[in-house]
Amino acid sequence: MAQNYRIYINDNTLFIADVLPEQKEKIQQLEIQDFDLQTFYKKLKNGSKKSYIFITKKPRETFKKLKKDCEVIKAAGGLVESVNGNYLFIFRNKKWDLPKGKLEEGENMKETAVREVEEECGIKVAKRERKLCKTYHVYPNGSKLIIKKTNWYKMKVKGEPKLIPQKEEGIDEAVWLDKNHLAPVVKNTFPSIMDVMKAGGIL
């Protein structure tokens, strides 16, 4: 089975797939030959929300080719549900987000996901369930481009504990939200977080 990828670059989406995805927005096809991610990144205008695609019989190989000029950082996070069926969201950098963070030495992705949720929101995870999805996000670090790969897991807590946002991580607020009242989040979050919400069945 082919592996298809969706990579977010700010609000732009770069697909690597074997067939054209079904979507309402216009999508621009790219050629992998002579493609340079650095140059492509620099050409993207601030505030643009466009979709691009490589159509290839071998998405995994094309993705590997794309990654070779970048540093890959691994991270993990969680979509946490309380006993009342509410979901945990954080407000950081003026956007709604989900708790997540980078892999530390000696950890696996599942351990990172639980630790980050507990640290960023001051709670104890009672149960880590299935992996929901993986997201990829490109951003610059000095002259280098980073591809951040994040594994997302479904989690549960006992009761609905009080949340303590980790201020030193830039988190202004941590809240429990009913899945029928997610309009503010949808209006002001990242495309990758929308993917996690869809994978978790709350959108």
Q: What is the mean pLDDT of residues 11-39?
A: 89
52 with 28: CB under 8 angstroms?
yes
User: At 55, is the secondary structure helix, strand, or coil?
Assistant: strand
Each residue of 61-117: pLDDT tens digit?
A: 999 999 988 999 999 999 999 999 999 999 999 999 999 999 999 999 999 999 999
Task: Report d(CA 17, CA 56) in Å as an integer.
Answer: 6
Each residue of 159-192: pLDDT tens digit?
A: 999 999 999 999 999 999 999 999 999 999 999 9
What domains can you pick out in the chain, each with its CATH number? 5-67 (no CATH), 71-199 (3.90.79.10)
- Residue 46: which of 140, 123, 121, 154 has the closest Cα? 140
